[in-house]
Structure 1
Amino acid sequence: MPLSRREFLIDSLASGAFLPGISARKKPGNYPFQHGVASGDPLQNAVIIWTRITPQNNSEYSAYRWRVALDPAMANVVAEEYGVTGPECDHTIKIDVTELAPATTYYYAFETRGHWSDVGKMRTLPEGHVEHLRIAYTSCSNYAAGYFNVYREIAARSDLDLVLHLGDYIYEYASIEESLTTGRVHCPLEETVSLDDYRARHACYKLDKDLQAAHRQHSFVVIWDDHEVANNAWSGGSVNHSNENQGRWGERLSAAVKAYYEWMPVREIEHTGRMALYRGYRFGDLLDLSVLDTRLAGRDGPTDDLLETENSDRTLLGFEQEAWLDTRLAAAQQEGVTWKLFGQQVMVSQFGLNEQPFNYDQWDGYPAARNRLFDSVRRHSVDNWVVLTGDIHSSWAMTIHDDPFSDLSTPLGVEFVTPAVTSPGITSKPAAQLAGASLESLLPHLNFVDFYHRGFVLLDITHEQLQAEWWVVDRVDTPRYRCECMKALKVPVGKAELRPSQPVMPESTPLSMKTFDSELAYLREWEPAPQALSDGMLAASAPQ
């Protein structure tokens, strides 16, 4: 709700607060910006900025102002407006700041009741010729499963242009057993079902200081997966939802989606509707990023009947999203963009044995939809195609083929799977190593896999190559940890092949970052062959 400057000042004085510039700006118990700040969905001329005002009582309305500047001291102001938030959006604020310049770093902050929020940093997308980009991506961040050490590492990187989160940003589970191990307790304690539940769960996550730091330092692009609603969710239901015990599915789905839009720095897409969140981003002539919604936009219901999965009408994306993606791929190729990237949730590459999928929730459960995707890539002669995937709590690198079990000669692209922030894969390191080794003989298109570590993937992108680096932490049960680069692979332009590499270290290296660690060397050396498996950082402070 817009508000004039005069109305805002009257409201601030009536609350007994200091005017901006006079307050010492410490954080007392009634500090209104307890959930931090965030920015997201950057375009060449616009970025979403977000925060929440913690109300003194839930029914109240709060006047606020936001400010965007070219410097962290917030002196060189380029935009400033006033507004009001209240209970209908859970006291959140989400502003689409427009008329910005491309490839420019901005700073932003909010004020209410005489208090300033932390200062956040955001960056618009570039246009024209772009030489170099660095993007970090991750997924699967269960608060109760461990400390957000991965977010802390992402926040410490001063060399990122963007952070991509591929879903399961929150978890709907009660996670009592995990909480007994880690001491990190979900709020509410029960599984989320109602709008109040989902709002409280988002609030719980955004109280985490490491997550706040990552959002404060970097603009995010986010997409939901299933746990933002319920396990293995689709538009028609979920495997662990009971209408008898948890109410109507449609009401639960609507509540989860409403809370997501309130609490996340995402732009609502008018032409798709609220239940579809797919969209695209262009980074000049270097990169086209298509962020896919494999969960709610159009997915057909799950089945483990092999004959039913072969139905030619089954779709994972929905036919509208398929058509949108086909058009986007064609445009990126025709316009000479070097790299075509997908950010999506479930594994595209085949993961099974004797045509029997291990996981029907992935693209393996929708082979006709995957064939249509591959046909689109071929029809438009798309080169330099890279798929970024989350969901599976493990690290993978593969080449993409129509049928890797019969022909490896003409890969269509490559797929990189990020490890989780906290959600576990195989929790025993020896068992994880054994499982990884066993897959080498089963999956001829597999370059490497790791089921044990949590972390993120760092992409270093130029017109000559795209490099993926798996940065992992050794533990999440404590905030004391080590972070190392486990694996680095590069893809030469024009060739869908994976070559070993070394991490590209930034000019300014955080103290926690190191090169390869000897304990992780077995993955650095592992290739699919019969060999042994052996700065501009911001503190949490307000404008002066």
Structure 2
Amino acid sequence: MIKRRDWLKRTGLAGLGTVAGGALVGCGDDDGMTTPDAGEGVDGSVGTDAGVDGGPMLPPLPTSGFIHGVASGDPLPDAVILWTRITPEDGGLASADVDYTVATDPELTDVVASGTFTTDADRDWTVKVDVTGLDPATTYYYGFTGLGFTSPVGRTKTAPSGSVDRLRFVVMSCASYAHGWFHVYRHVSEIQDLDACVHLGDYIYEYGSGDYGGMREYDPPDEIVSLSDYRRRYAHYRLDPDLQAVHQQHPFICVWDDHETTNDSWSGGAENHDASEGDWEERKSVALQANLEWLPTRETEDGHLWRKLAYGDLVDLIMLDTRIWGRDEQVSRSELADADPARTILGDDQEAWLEEQLEASTATWKVLGQQVMVGQWDAESEEGEFSPNNTDQWDGYPGARERLFAAIADVENPVVLTGDIHSHWAQELTSDPHDPEAYDPETSEGSVGVEFVTSAVSSPGAPGVIGMALEEAALEANPHLRYVNFRQRGWIVLDLTAARVQADYYVVDGVLADEGEPSHAISYACAAGERRLEEASGPTEDRGDAPAFAPDPPARRLPVSAR
């Protein structure tokens, strides 16, 4: 038997205990509540590996060579980042030369670029190459060789230039290894016609084994704080075959959220950091170093992650860092009314840069990829007053949000993409959804843009009747909100044309080893020139002319004991 407070932390419901109009109010610290059993997804041991259909035992994983797969990212019309890691057999090796090949065919015979990258322990044996001289809107295949090993073949795609008819992205976030299996990554790896995957953070989690989720154990087993720790955690994640599969097939565009450092971080500290864990600036620095070593992100001189990627005349994808770069410390709900309106979630320099990007953009759609929810998530009191549930998101920075709203109100077709909250949302953006003079939910008058929020890959939401109660309360108290799903994990397919943007929300039936069946939940669209969400009749169709997948995706490895 455990205390309810501890159970809430382990299941991911910590912080939801008093929200949504009292849906969870009245829970004491020790009310005799027992821990759900392993079949309900809180604890459970992992067994030996078997094939996805419970067939023959898979061979042991290799311990040297290109064991962490391949990846690509940050596509430009003429360039893309390629990534891998070589694990030497000889622990005393000083350096390794890794050759790369880029071709237009999966067999890597029609070669368009090649070269050699020298890596060593100082960069954790990772390889990152910015391959240039490529053609726009083109699918390429690539591979690596080194130390007598040959990597899997990867598949990537450059961004288009000029006139663009249609784009398709997947939007994902929040992959807690300890809470279950990465079925979402595997399903996304099997979508053939994507332009890129947009990952909005919490790519890794910092906790030790059993601290937050207990379905799978971490390496290292304790909370990560040092450079070695962060590197080991990325290496552990990148051994997962479902994560390897999605990186093999699609380029990634990534930003980080808090768990790439530690929970509820800001520029000067974090909720989950104290003096016993060392200097915060050092921890932040090594976390960023490992992140850039292990992800296919194009690097900047000062290490900032905010950047713009242009997709022809259709989309400017503006990736923001609302978590670390310039964020002021969070305040509590009781402190919010007296907080300085000049407080920032972006930092003055990033805020100014964003305004410049929006003003200069000539793309049809200005798409902001960022971490925490922009739209209000308010709770209504018995007296009919509204207050925010979560001051870690933009609700806790109302002055910064007003400046953002002023900026996007002046441009055509702004769209916000969000992760972090382990749940699907679709909402219109407005300064005050409760003021009928400022916003009309029937006509959308007063909306300055739309926001699509993706659920998690595996990180927990709110299950069953708890989730249903939270959804009902959120919809009742927030008239700008069109859809919310706390109960299921999933992803968004974002489909854009000159006429409209549509978000197709997909879910899986669970993240246990024997779950993961996907389905379409709902779709919302916004017409160009409008700032209004309408439910679509169904999901968008795949493009039928997508190039071939990269060959030989990694076999799934699922525990026999969970079957």
Aligned to 1:34: 67
- Indicate the residue corresponding to 2:551 in structure 1: 539
> What do the CA deviations read for 1:319-342 (whole angstroms, capped 9, x no partner)?
10011100100111xx2x211110
The Cα shift of 1:192 comes to 0.3
Contact 1:298 1:315 in 2 (8 A): yes
Q: Distance in 2 between matches of 1:66 and 1:539?
A: 17
Letter in 2 for 1:200: R
- SS class of match (2:178): helix
Q: 2: CA distance between counterparts of 1:217 and 1:541?
A: 9
Decide which of 452, 455, 459 is 2:490's aligned counterpart: 455
Of 343, 359, 372, the match for 2:390:
359
Following superposition, the deviation at residue 507 of structure 1 comes to 5.0
**Residue in structure 1 matched with residue 372 of structure 2 by the alignment:** 346
How many residue pairs get matched? Answer: 481
SS across alignment from 1:176: coil
Cα distance in 2 for residues equivalent to 1:357 and 1:437: 16
Shift in CA distance, 112/434, structure 1 to aligned 2, threshold 3 Å:
same
**Which of 295, 298, 301 does residue 267 from structure 1 map onto?**
298
Aligned positions of 1:516-531 closer than 5 A:
none
Shift of the 362–385 alpha-carbon distance from structure 1 to 2, 3 Å rule, reads same
Structure 1 Cα separation of the partners of residues 136 and 60 of structure 2: 34
Comparing 57-66 with 42-51, which one deviates more in the overlay? Answer: 57-66
Q: Residue 223 of structure 1 corresponds to which residue in structure 2?
A: 255
2:541 aligned partner = 505
Alignment of 1:146-157 (within 5 A): 146-157=180-191
TM-superposition CA deviations, 1:23-58 (whole Å, max 9, x none) = xxx998454000000000111111000000012244
Aligned to 1:486: 521
Q: Which amino acid aligns with 1:359?
A: N
Tell me how large the CA RMSD over aligned residues is. 1.9
Partner of 1:297: 325
Separation in 2, partners of 1:202, 1:216: 16
The amino acid across from 1:330 in the alignment is E
Give the whole-Å Cα distance in 2 for the aligned partners of 1:119 and 1:67: 10
How far apart are the structure 2 equivalents of 1:293 and 1:447? 26
Contact 2:248–2:553 (8 Å) recurs in 1: no
Measured in 2, the distance between the counterparts of 1:395 and 1:113 equals 45
For normalisation by structure 2, the TM-score amounts to 0.83
Question: Residue type matched to 1:436 in 2?
Answer: E
Q: Which residue, 319, 330, 349 being the options, matches 2:359?
A: 330
- Partner-residue secondary structure (3-state), 2:82: strand
1: distance between equivalents of 2:479 and 2:353?
Answer: 32
- Which residues of 2 match residues 371-450 of structure 1 at below 5 A? 371-378=402-409, 381-406=410-435, 407-408=438-439, 409-427=445-463, 429-450=464-485
- In 2, distance between residues paired with 1:257 and 1:50? 17
1:367/1:485 CA distance change after superposition, 3 Å: same
The one-letter amino acid paired with 2:530 is: K
Q: How does 1:102-251 map to 2 (within 5 A)?
A: 102-176=136-210, 180=214, 182=215, 184-243=216-275, 245-251=276-282
Higher RCO structure (Cα 8 Å, ≥6 apart)? 2
**Contact 1:69–1:77 at 8 Å: present in 2 too?**
yes
Give the match for residue 9 of structure 1: none
Distance across 2 between alignment mates of 1:314 and 1:423: 29
Tell me the amino acid that sits aligned with residue 238 of structure 1: A
Distance 1:418 1:210 in 2: 19
Residue segments in structure 1 that go unaligned for 5+ positions in a row: 1-25, 511-534
**How far apart, CA to CA, are the structure 2 residues paired with 1:92 and 1:82?**
13
Aligned residue identity for 1:417: V
Distance 1:265 1:281 in 2: 14
**Cα distance change, pair 449–292 in 1 and its aligned pair in 2 (3 A):** same
SS state at 2:468 partner: helix
**Aligned-partner residue type, residue 312 of structure 2:** G
Instruction: Work out the percentage of aligned pairs sharing the same amino acid.
Output: 45
Find the counterpart in structure 2 of residue 528 from structure 1.
none
Tell whether the 8 Å contact from 1:39 to 1:47 is kept in structure 2 after alignment.
yes
Tell me by how many angstroms 1:175 deviates.
Answer: 3.9
1:284 to 312, 326, 330: 312
Q: 1: distance between equivalents of 2:337 and 2:478?
A: 24
Judge which range, 307-316 or 483-492, deviates more. Answer: 307-316
In structure 1, how many angstroms separate the alpha carbons of the residues matched to 2:61 and 2:432?
Answer: 60
Q: Is the 8 A contact 2:117 2:129 kept in 1?
A: no
CA contact (8 A) 1:303 1:309 kept: no
Equivalent runs, 1:469-484 vs 2, <5 Å: 469-484=504-519
Residues 29/310 of structure 1: CA separation in 2 closer, same or farther (3 Å cut):
closer
Secondary structure in 1 matching 2:265:
coil
Q: Which residue does the alignment assign to 2:6?
A: none
